[in-house]
Copies of this chain bind each other. A is one copy, B any other.
Amino acid sequence: MIDFTFQNPTKVIFGKDALNHLAEEIKRYGTKVLLVYGGGSVKRIGLYDQVISILNNQKASVWEISGVKPNPRLGLVREGIRLCRENSVELVLAMGGGSAIDTAKAIVNGVKYDGDVWDLFTGKGSNVEVLPLGTIVTLPAAGSEMSNSCVITREEDQCKRGRNTPLNFPKFSILNPEFTYSLPPYQTACGVVDIMAHIMERYFTTVEHVELTDRMAEGALKTVIDNAPLVMNSPEDYDARAEIMWAGCLAHNTLFETGRVGDWASHKLEHELSALYDIAHGAGLAIIFPAWMKYVLSKGNAKKLSQFAVRVLDVKADAGTEEEIAQEGIVRLDAFYRSVGLTTTLHENGIDERDFERMAERAVKMAGGVLGSFYPIRKVDALSIYRLAL
């Protein structure tokens, strides 16, 4: 185990009654509110109307940024910053999944930074404070509701950048599993993959003696795998939705990375994919993660991969060599992704190798030459992984 600091101040308000606590939070942070959301779903499930009604009861002044799309764009962030500044907004309230929340995170940071908000993502600039941020989650996936991370794409060159800072922790997040009942199966499945990836990126570490976090991570992965088929079959299974939603929140709140170094190569390889092809992040991870596992296994990292196979995917501990067990684990993970309706190859998505060079080049360059830590991925390795994903 390596030294660490863990602190996560976000207040999670979870359950059927969660939205009824919004009024208290408005009273705490202020009544000049900027809403940030995508569009259709938040209105279709009635959440938008409920929130507006609560805000009206609090005599709040409300501004809106809507139309947030997956892989959220810098343009809307700039628009949100302008609205906050012009109207002295006191609280930004994101409704939706990671895209709405990440847009809101970039806004609350950018408002308190004198220069161009993109500087915060390139490392050119920094801020020390933010506007208060609250979230209402409708898509368990990114875990942004309790995370320190934020990923934004600059439209003009499809450049996707993340920024992790304690300033990104929301003040509060409201999670009602009922808000996820009407998610299309595809989005539910992509969310499940993303949640698992957040855990697995931390799970696959070369740091030894991380037993507590290993076991908690394995428990969270098993929970998601066991409950995913339940929600695919019964979208209004409250308890199964709740397990996935709480797992999604914990998956990315940094608890599972205490005392260890995460990998994140798969995420970065996927970011290049979704930046170029506008494929959903979770769908991309279902393709990249098994390919990455196959590749690192071929390089000799069987021990942790076989532990994963045994403890998470119930491969028998005496089913073969460590490598055979690890291989069976990858087969089962791939089968699980397919069982929730996703594809696990690039070809199935009409993607061939024409952009591999560019993707591998950029992914590795942005990471300073080497991606990940479980196995160091250089450009040649990245190319191999993309090919394994074909």
Binding site for B on A (CB under 8 A): 1-18, 21, 208-209, 211-212, 214-216, 218-220, 222-223, 226-227, 239-240, 242-243, 246-247, 250, 255, 258-259
Most chain B C-beta atoms within 10 Å of own C-beta, residue among A8, A18, A21, A208 = A8
Inter-chain contacts of A215 with B (CB < 8 A): 216, 218-220, 222-223
Inter-chain contacts of A208 with B (CB < 8 A): 239
Among B17, B218, B239, the residue within 8 A (CB) of A1 is B239
Chain B residue at smallest Cβ distance from A247: B212
Chain B residue at smallest Cβ distance from A8: B8
Bound: A85/B374 CA distance, A: 53
Q: Indicate if the CB atoms of A1 and B243 lie closer than 8 Å.
A: yes
Q: Indicate if the CB atoms of A17 and B5 lie closer than 8 Å.
A: no
Inter-chain contacts of A242 with B (CB < 8 A): 1, 209, 259
Inter-chain contacts of A3 with B (CB < 8 A): 14-18
Most chain B C-beta atoms within 10 Å of own C-beta, residue among A12, A239, A246 = A246
Q: Indicate if the CB atoms of B12 and A6 lie closer than 8 Å.
A: yes
Inter-chain contacts of A239 with B (CB < 8 A): 1, 208-209
Closest 7 CB pairs of A and B: A3-B15, A215-B219, A209-B239, A7-B11, A9-B9, A212-B223, A6-B12
Bound: A362/B273 CA distance, A: 65
Bound: A208/B12 CA distance, A: 21
A206 shortest CB reach to chain B, Å: 15
**Sampled A-B contacts (28; CB under 8 Å):** A1-B239, A1-B246, A2-B15, A3-B16, A4-B14, A4-B15, A5-B14, A7-B9, A7-B12, A8-B8, A14-B259, A15-B259, A208-B239, A209-B239, A209-B243, A211-B227, A212-B220, A212-B246, A214-B219, A215-B220, A215-B222, A215-B223, A216-B216, A216-B219, A219-B219, A246-B258, A246-B259, A255-B255
Chain B residue at smallest Cβ distance from A222: B215
Bound: A200/B161 CA distance, A: 43
Inter-chain contacts of A223 with B (CB < 8 A): 211-212, 215
Bound: A242/B212 CA distance, A: 10
Inter-chain contacts of A15 with B (CB < 8 A): 1-4, 259
Chain B residue at smallest Cβ distance from A2: B15
Bound: A141/B31 CA distance, A: 44
Bound: A18/B11 CA distance, A: 26
Q: Indicate if the CB atoms of A7 and B10 lie closer than 8 Å.
A: yes
A189 shortest CB reach to chain B, Å: 19
Given A220-B212, A223-B211, A242-B259, do A6 and B11 touch, yes or no (CB 8 Å)?
yes
Chain B residue at smallest Cβ distance from A3: B15
A194 shortest CB reach to chain B, Å: 16
Chain B residue at smallest Cβ distance from A14: B4
Inter-chain contacts of A18 with B (CB < 8 A): 3
Most chain B C-beta atoms within 10 Å of own C-beta, residue among A1, A226, A246 = A1
Inter-chain contacts of A246 with B (CB < 8 A): 1, 212, 258-259
A259 shortest CB reach to chain B, Å: 7
Q: Indicate if the CB atoms of A11 and B5 lie closer than 8 Å.
A: yes
Chain B residue at smallest Cβ distance from A7: B11
Inter-chain contacts of A220 with B (CB < 8 A): 212, 215-216
Bound: A63/B18 CA distance, A: 44
